[in-house]
Amino acid sequence: MKRGNALIRNLDGYFFRENFLVASVVTIFVIRLFLKLTDYPQLQGAGLHVAHLLWGGLFMLIALVLLLSFVGRGMISLASIIGGIGFGTFIDELGKFITSDNNYFFQPTIALLYLIFISIYLFSKAIAKRGNISEKEYLVNSLAMVSEAVLNDLDIDEKKRALSYLRKCDQKDPLVISLIVFIKDIDSIPVGKQSFFIRIRHAISEVYMRGANLILVTRIVVVVLLIQAALDIYSGLIVVIFRPSVSITEIGVLISSTLAAVMVIVGMIIFPSSKLHAFKLFKIAILLSLLVTQFFTFYQEQFRALIGLGINIILLTIIDYTIAKESSGDGISSSSK
């Protein structure tokens, strides 16, 4: 295997990026809820006003210092959460910095925040899916897991994953051979002796991996997509037919939701003959809803549109998993037999 410099992806990076996004979004809603309940107080004195944007910068600085100063998966996880809190606190004041009157309550702010977070989410997915995972990436990630063995010991699942990474590397490479021998000799922690939170994480992961591969879950996904599109089309038509003036956001909701519904219907038609292509159409429908319909909905309805956002992200995750299974030839058709 050739050695050299390259951009090596952290194969657990999705976990840390999810931490970051969840912490950011939760922080924004906690801040706005607190401000609403307390009638928007200002923590100030002697003519000073410390905007919470500055507190966001402080949290992001703390996260950066932690990443530069310590090693270990636990520290990366902690830094991703602290960094997410910092970014959420920082970006919450976006309205102040895009308006001439420093208007924190600028109506399009929530829609813009939504667009920012969706862009981060899609960029994160693009990083994970960029090309095939190279042997070097598998090797470097297995080395990282060896360092975790020194810090925290390996549990059974982590040991299996490290060995599976190494099996995808050059089996004649002396470093790969040495690592396989080393990891096999490590005493792993039995699942029963893991911490409560790790056991919960494994249980949720197992339920998800089983559930996402069931034909029933697939049908539920399609039904939810159809209901969601139908509700958006219905509300859009009501506005267009009975309201004398229609805004560009309402027209955007109607057009994008109609296109999403068409994609779902076409996907249902071709589903019996080509499940993979059907799910790709379902994914396009979800992305239309996420990137277009939900953007306009956030502009109109602010926080009430969060329900649709959460549903779409869950559906997109399930669809992505199912497409991966279908592409590998181990899809829902086999599980339904």
DSSP per position, 117-162? HHHHHHHHHHHHHSSPPPHHHHHHHHHHHHHHHHHH--BHHHHHHH
Q: Which parts of the chain register pLDDT below 50?
A: 191-192, 197, 334-337
pLDDT of residue 334: 46
pLDDT at 57: 92
pLDDT in tens, 299-326: 666 555 666 676 777 777 777 777 766 6
Tell me: the pLDDT tens digits for 43-69? 555 556 667 788 999 999 999 999 999
Quote the pLDDT of residue 320.
Answer: 73
In this prediction, residue 66 carries a pLDDT of 94
Residue 44 has a pLDDT of 55
CA-CA distance, 238 to 15, in Å (whole number)? 41
Mention every residue, 6+ apart, whose C-beta is less than 8 A from residue 241: none
In whole angstroms, how far apart are CA 217 and each of 222, 283, 325, 336?
Answer: 9, 15, 14, 11
pLDDT of residue 160: 81
**Per-residue confidence (pLDDT) for residue 60, from 0 to 100:** 95
Cα–Cα dist 149/284, whole Å: 41
Q: What pTM did the predictor assign?
A: 0.67
